[in-house]
Amino acid sequence: MELTIIAPAGRIKRLVVPLREAPTFPLAILLLLVVTALLAPVLTPGSPTEQDLGKRLLPPAWVQGGSWDYLLGTDLFGRDIVSRVIYGARISLTISLTSKGIGAILGILVALPAGYLGGMVDLLLMRAVDAALSIPTILIGIVLAVTLGPSYEAVIFVIVLFVWPRYARQVRGETLAIKQRDFIALAKIAGSSSARIIIFHILPNLVPTLLVLSSLQVGAAIIMEATLSFLGVGIPPPAPAWGVMVADGKDLVVSAWWVSLFPGIAILLTVLSLNLLGDWLRDRLDPKLRQV
């Protein structure tokens, strides 16, 4: 099986990525994550928010005192850890993909005209990007949480604020390189407008870069969401976000280590898999690295 990316510009070769050579571990982890997020109501043994104080802080099933009804144990309020970790995958994926998508669109809309047109347009737009990069996103999240209260919308806004300037800088740099290519000069000679060159010649040739950047930024978005939730300014409880679960167990690391450990492992495996997949995509889509 192969993943094929075709650029409309005739002088750009077709990129063929053999999926059979893809790293098995990251793909398996990410596939498991997507399946559990989509089938969370079916896979979970119970409600992720249902409390049972009579069964609070039960250890995992294989530890003395544990129960197989609660495979990974329960938290401070008697909620099932398995159910909360599975539903947490849905929350993390939804927020990270939504915020990454919005941030990518904003970054591309800013970077393409900046890189292609240059001059004053490039100067003004990239100064806006520099200003956005200088904003402390965690501080913005805390301010929003204090003024408006923790919410999904506030978390998405903060992550978009974190993501879009990084897309803008990368895409602008790639655009500066691509617009010097011969097929762009031929398109200008043929009378193509700037909008047509950007949409039909430059943008398709940015697909490899966007694929790699997206795989890395999804992991960064998950980390940002978990950080905000851990600080209490992200997803409002009792929603089973992974960051919230880690925060719930931060004072119980010695006596009830499982409360924080399993959502922490979920964050670790997800971000590690996305980074490994991004590295593999970069190696396969970059002709220079592929030759090495």
The region of weakest confidence among 5-9, 161-165, 205-209, 212-216 is 5-9
Fold of 80-287: MetI-like fold (1.10.3720)
Residue 131 neighbours by CB under 8 Å, 6+ apart: none
Contact at 8 Å (CB) between 239 and 249? Answer: no
**Cβ count near 42 (within 10 Å):** 8
Mean pLDDT of 51-59: 88
The region of weakest confidence among 2-11, 160-169, 225-234, 246-255 is 2-11
- The CA distance from 221 to 157, in Å, is 11
Distances, alpha carbon 149 to alpha carbons 61, 153, 205, 289, 290, in Å:
37, 10, 42, 47, 48
- Asked if the model's pLDDT at residue 291 lies above 70, the reply is no
**Cβ count near 54 (within 10 Å):** 7
Mean pLDDT of 201-219: 86
- Asked if the model's pLDDT at residue 25 lies above 90, the reply is no
- Asked if the model's pLDDT at residue 292 lies above 70, the reply is no
Q: What is the pLDDT of residue 11?
A: 41
Q: Are strands 2-5 and 15-18 parallel, antiparallel or unpaired?
A: antiparallel
Q: At residue 173, what is the residue type?
A: G
18 — pLDDT class (breaks 50, 70, 90): low
